[in-house]
Structure 1
Amino acid sequence: MKKDWIWLIALSICIVFVIPWSVVRWHKETIDSGGIQIRVLMPDGSVEDLALENYLLGVVAAEMPAEFELEALKAQAIAARTYAAKRIEQSNQTDLGYHVDTTVKTQAWISEAQMRKKWGLLNYWRYHSKLQKAVLGTRGLILVFNGDYIEAFYHSSSGRKPTERSEEVWSTSRPYLQNISSGEENLQRYVKKMTFTPQELYKKLGLKESPRSLTSGDFQVLVRTSVGRAKSIRVLGRVYPANQLRGLLGLSSTDIEWDILPDKLTITMYGNGHAVGMSQWGANDLAKKRFKVEEILNYYYPGTKLMVMGSM
C-alpha cells in the first residue's frame, strides 16, 4: 500500500511539473532556430540580440491575453513580426544601436521569468505552449503592401467607433490603415473615467503658471476625426494634438466626453489605444466567429498580402 502511494505521488509530480516542463523546453529549442536576429533595448539599458521568432513569443505574451483564440494570437504574431521587420529595416538605416525596446513605444515584450510571474506556474506551460503554436504556426509570415513591409499598427480596443485612418492620428497616410468597423462585440468593453484637479492638470501639462479655477472654455475639442474622435484639443489656452494629450494625461483613448467644474475636470474615455490598425479585442471576436488568421488580417489591413520574409 505504501509503495502504491509513492508511485501515485511520483506520477502526479510528473504530470503536473515534468511533462509540461519538457513540452515547454522542447518548444523553446525549436523556436530559437530562426536565423534572423533583432536587437532589443532592455529595461536596464543593455542591448540583447534575440532570435526574431523567440522575441515574438515575448511580444505576443505582453501584447495580447493568452486566453484569446488561437487565430487571434496568430494574427498578433504576424502583425508583431511585420512591425519588427519594419523596425529592423528602418533602424539599420539610422544606426540607433537597437531595433526595438520592451515598451509600447515600439512593442511591449516580457521575458520567460515575467511570463511565469504573470500566468503563475500552473498556467505557464499551457499558455507558453499555446503562444508558441501561434508564433511557430506563422513562422516567417509578414504583411506587405506594394512589395514593402507595412506599418502593422495595432491597439487594444476601438470601443464604440471604427478604427482610425493613420493620417488622422499621425499625419502619414497609409492605404491599408483605414476606417474599419472594429469587429468588437462589446462596444462598451473599455469605458474609463479620469478626474483632474487644476493642480494635477497644470502639473501633467508641465505648465509653470499658478493653477486657477477651471472654466468651461479650458477644455475644448477643436477638431474631430472623420469617425468622431478628438483630433485637436485646446486645454488651458494651449492647443494639443489629441494623441499627444492622451500621452500627457494618461488617457486610454481619444474618444472622449468631459465635464468641467471650477475644481475638477472629468474625462470619460471609450476604447483603449490609438485606434489605428488591428483591434486586438476585435480580432478575438472575429476569431470566435471562425475567421481564420488570413481573414482577420485582411479585415484590418485591406489590400495587403501575406508573404514569407526574404521572398520579396
Structure 2
Amino acid sequence: MKRYALSIIFLIFLLFALPVAIISCSKESLPEKRISDSKLYLNVYDYRKEKLITMDLEEYIAGVVAAEMPATFHIEALKAQALAARTYTLLRMKYFGGKGCSQHPEADICTDPSHCQAFVDPNTLGKNQKKIYEAVNSTKGEVIVYEDKLIDAVFHSTSGGITENSEDVWVNKVPYLRSVLSQYEDHSPKLISRKEISIDDFVSGMLSLDNTITLDKKNLESQIQIIERSSGGRVMKIKIGDKYFSGRDIREQFGLNSTNFSIDIGKNRITFEVIGYGHGIGMSQYGADGMANHGATYQEIIKHYYTGVEIVPLESLQ
C-alpha cells in the first residue's frame, strides 16, 4: 500500500514536472542571443555555399560594401554605402522585429544580390581591405531613420541623371524614396548602353511573355508604342502588338540594364537604347561617388538621396 501511494505521488510529480521541463527545453532551444561582447550578430544565408552563417554585423557590412561598391570609389561614398547597407540589414533582422529573408526563413538576410545584398568574404579583400574597413568603422552604429524608424535604404548603380519615386516602380509610395537629381554620374560605364537583337528573337521573346500576342514581323514599327514614362524617364507601360506590358517585363525579358529605354527598329534588328543601371530608387552608387568627388560628405549624400531622413546612433532606437 505504501509502495502504491509512492507510485501515485511519482505520477503526479511527472504530470506537473514534465510540462515545466518541456517549456524549459523550448526556451533553451530558441536562437542564441544576438548581442554578445558589445557586438551584434545576424544569421546570413550564403547562397553559394548553401549554408547558414552567424556573423558579426559590422564584419558582414564590410563584406557588403566590398561587393556592392568599387573600392576605388571616394571614401565618403563608401561610408554612405556602409550606412545604407547597415540600415537595410537591420530593418530585416528578426531581432529588431524584421521579417528576415523570405527565400530562406531561417536567415535574417542572404548573399544573393538579386534578392538581398551582394557579399564577399572581407578576408579576401587584399589591398582594399583597409579602405573598406575605414568606411565601415567610421560609421559604426549609425543608421538612417525617417520619423524615428529605420528606412528601407535601397540603392542601385546608376540612375541616369534622376532617381525614381518608389510608387512608379514598386507600387507603394514611400515618403523618403522620392525622385531627386543625380547629376554626377558621367563616369559610370553603365550610364548609357545598347542592346541589339534580331527581329525573330524579339518576337520569340514577346511570345514567351504572352503566347496570345499578335505581331507582324514586317510591320513592327507601328506595333510598338511607349504609353507612359515615369518622372525619371523609365517606361511604365508599353503596348506591343495588341497587348500591354510594363517596362519591367521588357527589361527582364531582354536583359536590359534599366527600364529607361527607347526602341529603334531596323530592317532585321531591334536596338534598345538604355539609360542607367538598376531600379533607380534610393541612392545611386555612381551618383554618390560623383557627389563625394565634388566635396559632399557621406551625411550629405545620404540626406540627398533619401528625402527627409536623419542619421542617428542605433542605441537611440532601443
Shift of 1:198: 3.5
CA distance in 2 between counterparts of 1:228 and 1:92 reads 33
Instruction: Answer with 226-235 or 56-65: which moved more.
Output: 226-235
CA distance in 1 between counterparts of 2:197 and 2:101 reads 42
Unaligned runs of 5+ in 2: 1-36
Partner of residue 228 from structure 1, selected from 230, 233, 238: 233
1:246 matched residue in structure 2:
251
CA distance in 1 between counterparts of 2:57 and 2:282 reads 22
**Shift in CA distance, 237/80, structure 1 to aligned 2, threshold 3 Å:** farther
**Residue pair 1:183, 1:283 contacting (<8 A) in 2 also:** no
State how 1:100-115 maps to structure 2 within 5 Å. 100-102=109-111, 103-112=113-122, 115=124
State how 1:129-144 maps to structure 2 within 5 Å. 129-144=130-145
CA distance in 2 between counterparts of 1:96 and 1:145 reads 27
Unaligned runs of 5+ in 1: 1-31, 117-123
**Shift in CA distance, 200/112, structure 1 to aligned 2, threshold 3 Å:** farther
Shift of 1:72: 0.5
Q: Deviations over 1:59-91 (max 9, x none)?
A: 111111100010100000000111111222432
**Shift in CA distance, 162/92, structure 1 to aligned 2, threshold 3 Å:** closer
Instruction: Give the partner amino acid of 1:308.
Output: P
1:272 matched residue in structure 2:
277
**Shift in CA distance, 197/93, structure 1 to aligned 2, threshold 3 Å:** closer
CA distance in 1 between counterparts of 2:60 and 2:204 reads 37
1:79 matched residue in structure 2:
84
2:217 matched residue in structure 1:
213
2:58 matched residue in structure 1:
53
1:91 equivalent to 2:95? Answer no
**Shift in CA distance, 33/92, structure 1 to aligned 2, threshold 3 Å:** same
What RMSD in Å do the two structures reach over aligned CA positions?
2.6
2:11 matched residue in structure 1:
none
Shift of 1:183: 3.3
**Shift in CA distance, 267/128, structure 1 to aligned 2, threshold 3 Å:** same
Instruction: Give the partner amino acid of 1:91.
Output: K
**Residue pair 2:100, 2:109 contacting (<8 A) in 1 also:** no
Which secondary structure does the structure 1 equivalent of 2:262 belong to? strand
Q: Tell me which structure has the larger Cα radius of gyration.
A: 2
Which secondary structure does the structure 1 equivalent of 2:253 belong to? helix
1:15 matched residue in structure 2:
none
1:20 matched residue in structure 2:
none
Which secondary structure does the structure 1 equivalent of 2:163 belong to? coil
2:179 matched residue in structure 1:
179
**Residue pair 2:92, 2:101 contacting (<8 A) in 1 also:** no
Shift of 1:220: 2.4
- Using the size of structure 1 for normalisation, the TM-score is 0.78
Count of residue correspondences: 271
Runs of 4 or more above 4 Å deviation: 92-95, 202-205, 207-212
Shift of 1:212: 6.2
Which secondary structure does the structure 1 equivalent of 2:231 belong to? coil
**Residue pair 1:143, 1:150 contacting (<8 A) in 2 also:** yes
**Shift in CA distance, 258/141, structure 1 to aligned 2, threshold 3 Å:** same
CA distance in 1 between counterparts of 2:184 and 2:253 reads 27
**Residue pair 1:154, 1:280 contacting (<8 A) in 2 also:** yes
State how 1:36-47 maps to structure 2 within 5 Å. 36-47=41-52
**Residue pair 2:61, 2:82 contacting (<8 A) in 1 also:** yes
Instruction: Answer with 79-88 or 253-262: which moved more.
Output: 253-262
Which secondary structure does the structure 2 equivalent of 1:90 belong to? coil
2:163 matched residue in structure 1:
163
CA distance in 1 between counterparts of 2:38 and 2:241 reads 55
Instruction: Answer with 244-253 or 93-102: which moved more.
Output: 93-102
**Residue pair 2:62, 2:136 contacting (<8 A) in 1 also:** yes
Instruction: Answer with 172-181 or 258-267: which moved more.
Output: 258-267
CA distance in 2 between counterparts of 1:249 and 1:78 reads 33
State how 1:6-45 maps to structure 2 within 5 Å. 34-45=39-50
Shift of 1:138: 0.7
CA distance in 2 between counterparts of 1:93 and 1:146 reads 25
**Residue pair 1:158, 1:182 contacting (<8 A) in 2 also:** yes
**Shift in CA distance, 280/68, structure 1 to aligned 2, threshold 3 Å:** same
Shift of 1:154: 0.9
**Residue pair 2:251, 2:257 contacting (<8 A) in 1 also:** yes
Which secondary structure does the structure 2 equivalent of 1:169 belong to? helix
CA distance in 2 between counterparts of 1:65 and 1:237 reads 43
**Shift in CA distance, 273/293, structure 1 to aligned 2, threshold 3 Å:** same
Instruction: Give the partner amino acid of 2:198.
Output: T
Percent identity for Structure 1 against Structure 2: 31
- Using the size of structure 2 for normalisation, the TM-score is 0.77
Partner of residue 72 from structure 2, selected from 60, 67, 92: 67
